[in-house]
Amino acid sequence: MPAIHQPYAARAWHGHRAGRGAIAWAGAALPSLWRGRSLRWQVLATFILINLIAALATASLVLFNAKRATEAEIAASVAMAERFVRTSIDSLDRAMPGGLWLEDLPGRIGPMRHVRLLISTVGGKAIWQEHSSGGGARPHEAAAPRWFASMVHVDDLSREIPVISGGRRLGTVLVTGEPEDEIAEVWSDMADLAAVGLLVDLSVILVLYFAFGRVLTPLSALSAGLRQLEQGHFRHRLLEPKARELADLACRFNALAGSLGTAQAENIRLNHRLLTAQEDERRLIAHELHDELGPCLFGLRANMAVLNRLASDLPEEKAGRVRSRVQILSEIAGRVQTVNRRLLQRLRPIALGDVPLADLLAALVSEFEKHDDAPDIAFRPVQLADSYGDCVDLTLYRCLQEGLTNIVRHAQAKSVELRIEDGLGAVRLSLRDDGLGMAAGTPLGMGLSGMKERVHALGGSVSISAWATGGTCLEITLPAENPESRRSAIAGHEGTS
Ligand SMILES: Nc1ncnc2c1ncn2[C@@H]1O[C@H](COP(=O)(O)OP(=O)(O)OP(=O)(O)O)[C@@H](O)[C@H]1O
Ligand SMILES: [Mg+2]
């Protein structure tokens, strides 16, 4: 095995490593250049790449052919010039045998295509030199750039023809091939071809760019539409594009959005029924407690009063024992009454449906303000209807109750801003406190989870966020139509029709 020269081996090894590094870099960079790009970008990039490869292949082929054609052309021109020179020498020699006509030779020969002619005496003195006539070269053709000429370059080709008259040598004609004109022709053809190709390519790229824009716009609309569905906006619909396949996609999307919307409406309706059923049950229990327990307690108290009165007819010692028992009974009755009231209040706010919603909520707020550690509560109802129906009213009431309870229990807040407003088909309740704030990731307890379930069941949303200046912000949105504005809208409609 031949010994490898060390520096060469090291260079080869480094070259090999550099090559592998470049391949690894290309392997990592190309996918990242490609991935995540728009379809339009990928198709146009592929088109441009294919065109570049085709242009490179065409240019190599044209250069190869041009080199061969130029070699053949120059060889033919030199051979033809040689024949012509020899014929001219023979004809002059025949006309003036043994004469000194070397000076007349240029007049016979004249300039020739693709060759340079040099006539010199025997002593080597040049008496005439003529460059190529340019032959078929087109007048507008400029000389080819040097890099191109060096690529098409053909080897020098020349012939030395002795000029002999009457057996005596008069001088020499040197015929040398001059490929510059031929190369300029090839260069001009290639430049024209490249300009046409570039123009065609640019036009195709422009057409593709706009065509893809038209094709992809509906796909972008579809993607935006799917995002809307993801966010629960099932009323979103797509316009039908003109292309059949895309129109089919848009149709399917619209049908899907319709079905999702129906399913959501059905879900809300069922949840609404569930809530209503729950509230009906609570109301029934509240009435039972109120109507049954209330009179019973009243009867108990009345009978205890009678017992007290009867005890006064008994001897002092027996009367005292009876009165102490009556006292115990009275305390038990009192406790039952308190528990009953609290139960009634929790089952259903007594005034619900009897007083305007804003007053009912204001009463709840005043109730909280009575707590020793209660914060200041600024309450601002805006354009609230008297009622939005039992379900919505009660949900607002319960959410506010839980929100305020949480503030008193967990926030240590100094002030609270409560805002309830009606607009755009929804009632919005926001409760902002300046307390400790809710740490990120705090697990929800029964209170907030129950609140979310209730609100979602009515198709609304709950958001709990950290308030910029500290504290917590609870926001609830419930879809609800203001019955008063609906009534006035119907009245207005009837008035105009
Ligand atoms: N306004 C608030 N400020 C600070 N922390 C709060 C606030 N509201 C709720 N939290 C935190 O969120 C947690 C969950 O509240 P959630 O109402 O679900 O449960 P809870 O109040 O602990 O119990 P309950 O089920 O009796 O309501 C609370 O334990 C508390 O840590
Ligand atoms: Mg709570």
- Candidates 448, 449, 463, 473: which one to mutate for ligand 1, based on the most atoms within 8 Å of Cβ? 448
Q: How far is the CA of 410 from the centre of ligand 2 (A)?
A: 8
d(CA 448, CA 464): 10
Q: How far is the CA of 420 from the centre of ligand 2 (A)?
A: 20
Nearest CA to ligand 1 atom 11: 438
Calculate what percentage of the chain has a pLDDT beyond 70: 89
| Res 461: pLDDT | 93
d(CA 477, CA 364): 19
For the record, the structure tokens of 66 come out as 């041009």
d(CA 360, CA 366): 10
Which of 83-87, 139-143, 363-367 shows the lowest mean pLDDT across its residues? 139-143
* pLDDT, the chain, mean: 85
| Res 482: pLDDT | 73
| Res 255: pLDDT | 96
Q: How far is the CA of 207 from the centre of ligand 1 (A)?
A: 61
Q: How far is the CA of 406 from the centre of ligand 1 (A)?
A: 5
Smallest-distance ligand from the CA of 407? 1
As a whole number, mean pLDDT of residues 84-98 equals: 86
d(CA 443, CA 403): 16
Residue 7 has pLDDT above 80, yes or no: no
| Res 3: pLDDT | 43
Ligand 1 in contact with 387 (CB < 6 A)? Answer: no
Residue 274 has pLDDT above 90, yes or no: no
Smallest-distance ligand from the CA of 410? 1
Calculate what percentage of the chain has a pLDDT beyond 90: 36
Architecture of domain 355-496: 2-Layer Sandwich (3.30)
Taking the domains of the chain in order of start, what are their residue ranges? 35-203, 245-343, 355-496
Q: How far is the CA of 384 from the centre of ligand 1 (A)?
A: 28
As a whole number, mean pLDDT of residues 102-125 equals: 85
| Res 137: pLDDT | 47
Higher pLDDT, 225 or 113: 225
Residue 386 has pLDDT above 70, yes or no: yes
pLDDT in tens, 348-369: 777 777 889 999 999 999 988 8
d(CA 20, CA 30): 15
Q: Where are the alpha helices (DSSP H) in 120-179?
A: 146-152
| Res 324: pLDDT | 93
Nearest CA to ligand 1 atom 20: 445
Residue 147 has pLDDT above 90, yes or no: no
Ligand 1 in contact with 442 (CB < 6 A)? Answer: yes
Residue 409 carries which side chain, given as an amino acid letter? R
pLDDT band at 474 (very low <50, low <70, confident <90, very high): very high
For the record, the structure tokens of 248 come out as 């089919």
Ligand 1 in contact with 363 (CB < 6 A)? Answer: no
Residue 381 has pLDDT above 50, yes or no: yes
pTM over the 0.75 mark: no
